[in-house]
Amino acid sequence: MNRNFGLVILFSFLFYSINSLAQGGELLIQQYSKGPRLDQNFSKWSIRLGPQLNRINTNLGTTSPTLTLGGLVELEYRLSKTVGLVSGAQFTPIHYSYPKGDSIATDRLKYITYPLLLRLQPTDKVSLGLGIIYQAFINGEKRVEIEDYAETTPYAEEIFKDSFGGVVQAVYHLNRRINIFANFRWIRRTSPPTQPQTNNTNGFQLGIVYRIWKSKLSP
């Protein structure tokens, strides 16, 4: 129920933001239509997909992050040539290890992340983004390695929760179809004081996306 409620809030906010910013963008274009037409010939909608590397850690101070491979699909709505809204979905596995007695334990968590970013493109090659993310927990497990033996235990659903956070993004446009991006993202949610696990994480992501579709050019 909590996950469905969070998704409803996120997509309601997304719909409201797109409508509000789209109307604002159209008014600005009309207001300055007597000047240079900088917003001619751009596609309002585009879809991209690609792989993504994640290096995300907790804030406990006792864990070490492990590099993981995820993926994403990205939907962008352009208000103008230089301003756009970006959403989509990302498969985000998070792995980190920590000492447990005489052995090493590793938490392996899987999430689906739903971002909503405002992206600005000050130059032809560089874009900057800032936004919020909603992280939906799928499942997780703890793996404990003792010499040549490893034991894996699934986590109960009530330990890790769906959470909100933020993201800062830098994008390099390699060409018209391929973008390379780097994210710094953080998640915050209060956990019970008696619970050793935490929902608070932060870290970096690096990925590359390929445009598979775009709408017709706007006049």
- Per residue in 186-212, pLDDT (tens digit) is 999 999 989 999 999 999 999 999 999
- Mean pLDDT across the chain, nearest whole number? 87
pLDDT tens track for 100-155? 988 999 999 999 999 999 999 999 999 999 999 999 999 999 999 887 888 999 99
- Could you state, in order of their start, the residue ranges of all structural domains in the chain? 2-31+45-214
pLDDT tens track for 12-25? 555 555 555 445 55
Q: How far apart are CA 138 and CA 159, in angstroms?
A: 12
Contact indicator for 105, 98 with CB cutoff of 8 Å = yes
- 33 by Cβ neighbours in 10 Å (0-12 / 13-18 / 19+) ranks as exposed
- Give the pLDDT of residue 19: 54
Is 23 strand, coil or helix? Answer: helix
Of the pLDDT bands very low, low, confident and very high (cuts 50, 70, 90), residue 29 is: very low
- Give the pLDDT of residue 2: 54
Q: How far apart are CA 149 and CA 104, in angstroms?
A: 11
The yes or no reply on domain 2-31+45-214 and CATH 2.40.160.20 is yes
| pLDDT, mean of residues 57-83 | 97
| pLDDT, mean of residues 29-39 | 44
- Give the pLDDT of residue 40: 61
- Give the pLDDT of residue 148: 80
Contact indicator for 60, 198 with CB cutoff of 8 Å = yes
Give the amino acid at 150: A
Contact indicator for 136, 111 with CB cutoff of 8 Å = yes
Say if residue 9's pLDDT is above 80: no
| pLDDT, mean of residues 15-41 | 50
